[in-house]
């Protein structure tokens, strides 16, 4: 009760600086209090005013000053310093918050990791070292504690990447409040190798594997396209059969003479072209053989033979007749060709 009833927070940063804070808005509403302190233990204390205030909404809510001794006495007074609102004497070393560990090293031996740091010059027996770690498959940190200044654990999987962080902790038998230091910078390890982050443990595929995979994919695609093309050609041939091209039967006529029948005939006067009739009707052959016996139409039609002969004995008129034979005749007309007269109708065509 009384002047000791104010809830203040005391932090001694590594026994180097003191920070005292108080709830100014709750305890001292609308009043900007002043702060004084001393490390003197005798009756005649020399009070020092605060030179570095901490503010909360423009009101003094704390003070930061240098640690100068083991015993601290503080006094919070009214704004003009005439009235004392709070008074307390305490041991500064009971409120020490240690600094982060220095020169942290990791030692790996198979599945065991040992972490160590430099030993502080003062009060090392009051300090402990806390290690926390987790893999990227863990949601929460695993914690291990040990006396200053080495801590370790085992059971680490060499195939996993782990995050590590360490800090100093003030032991309970030395502090009123168990303060811990800030965490040292987080590090990432995998099987004894320091990494920039745990994303680096995703091993990229080697270039030869990537090239081979792409090549196989292209070959598979080409095979599928080839199969589809073959099936398409079969369907196309069954639906739309190919029409014979006359130029393959008379290659020299079209390649050497550009389809000039007269020039082709003149050059091949002594060449005999024989064409077999693939289909013969007995009635037409009998009828053709009976015509020379009767002699009725000997002036208009000649005998029908299986082999047509073009020779140098043919007269020039036969050449003109051959040219006429290349034209599509009218239905049921007589088409002269090389001395022969052929009866044509709508269902017949001449192919060279």
Q: What average pLDDT does this structure show over 259-286?
A: 55
Lowest mean pLDDT among 181-185, 236-240, 260-264, 332-336: 332-336
Q: What is the pLDDT confidence band of residue 167, given thresholds at 50, 70 and 90?
A: very high
Between 253 and 20, the more confident residue is 20
pLDDT of residue 9: 92
pLDDT of residue 72: 93
pLDDT of residue 245: 59
Express each pLDDT in 204-260 by its tens digit: 445 677 888 888 899 998 988 888 888 777 776 776 666 665 555 566 666 777 777
pLDDT of residue 136: 83
Please provide the CATH number assigned to the domain covering 105-195: 2.60.40.10
Interatomic CA distance for residues 1 and 47, integer angstroms = 24
Lowest mean pLDDT among 6-10, 58-62, 128-132, 270-274: 270-274
pLDDT of residue 284: 45
Residue ranges of the chain that CATH labels 2.60.40.10: 9-97, 105-195
pLDDT of residue 3: 54
pLDDT of residue 85: 87
Between 175 and 9, the more confident residue is 9
pLDDT of residue 344: 57
Q: What is the pLDDT confidence band of residue 337, given thresholds at 50, 70 and 90?
A: low
**Mean of pLDDT over the chain:** 75
The matching CATH number, chosen from 3.40.50.1820, 3.40.50.880, 3.40.980.10, 2.60.40.10, for 9-97 is 2.60.40.10
Percentage of residues in the chain having pLDDT higher than 90: 26
pLDDT of residue 242: 65
Between 180 and 200, the more confident residue is 180
Q: What is the pTM of this model?
A: 0.52
Say whether pLDDT at 328 is over 50.
no
């Amino acid at each position: 009760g009384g002047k000791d009833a104010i809830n203040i927070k005391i932090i001694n940063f590594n026994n180097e600086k003191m920070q005292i804070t108080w709830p100014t808005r709750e305890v001292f509403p609308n009043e900007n209090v002043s702060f004084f302190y001393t490390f003197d233990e005798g009756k005649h204390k020399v009070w020092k005013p605060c030179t570095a205030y901490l503010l909360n909404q423009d009101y003094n809510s704390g003070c930061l000053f240098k640690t100068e001794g083991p015993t601290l006495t503080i006094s919070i007074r009214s704004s003009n310093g005439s009235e004392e609102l709070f008074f307390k004497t305490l041991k500064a070393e009971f409120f020490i918050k240690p600094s982060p560990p220095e020169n942290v090293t990791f030692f790996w031996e198979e599945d065991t990791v040992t972490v160590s740091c430099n030993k502080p010059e003062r009060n090392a027996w009051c300090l402990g070292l806390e290690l926390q770690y987790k893999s990227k498959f863990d949601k929460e940190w695993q914690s291990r504690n040990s006396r200053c200044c080495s801590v370790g654990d085992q059971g680490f999987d060499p195939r996993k990447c782990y995050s590590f962080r360490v800090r100093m902790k003030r032991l309970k038998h030395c502090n009123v409040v168990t303060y811990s230091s800030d965490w040292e910078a987080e590090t990432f390890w995998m099987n004894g190798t320091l990494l920039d982050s745990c994303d680096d443990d995703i091993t990229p595929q080697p270039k030869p594997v990537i090239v081979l995979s792409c090549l196989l994919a292209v070959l598979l695609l080409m095979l599928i396209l080839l199969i589809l093309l073959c099936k398409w050609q079969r369907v196309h041939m069954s639906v739309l059969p190919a029409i014979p091209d006359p130029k393959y039967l008379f290659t020299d006529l079209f390649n050497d003479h550009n389809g000039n029948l007269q020039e082709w005939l003149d050059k091949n006067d002594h060449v005999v072209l024989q064409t077999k009739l693939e289909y013969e009707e007995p009635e037409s052959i009998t009828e053709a053989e009976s015509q020379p016996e009767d002699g009725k139409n000997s002036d208009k039609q000649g005998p029908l033979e299986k082999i047509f002969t073009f020779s140098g004995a043919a007269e020039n008129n036969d050449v003109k007749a051959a040219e006429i034979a290349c034209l599509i005749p009218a239905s049921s007309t007589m088409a002269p060709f090389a001395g022969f007269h052929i009866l044509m109708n709508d269902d017949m065509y001449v192919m060279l």
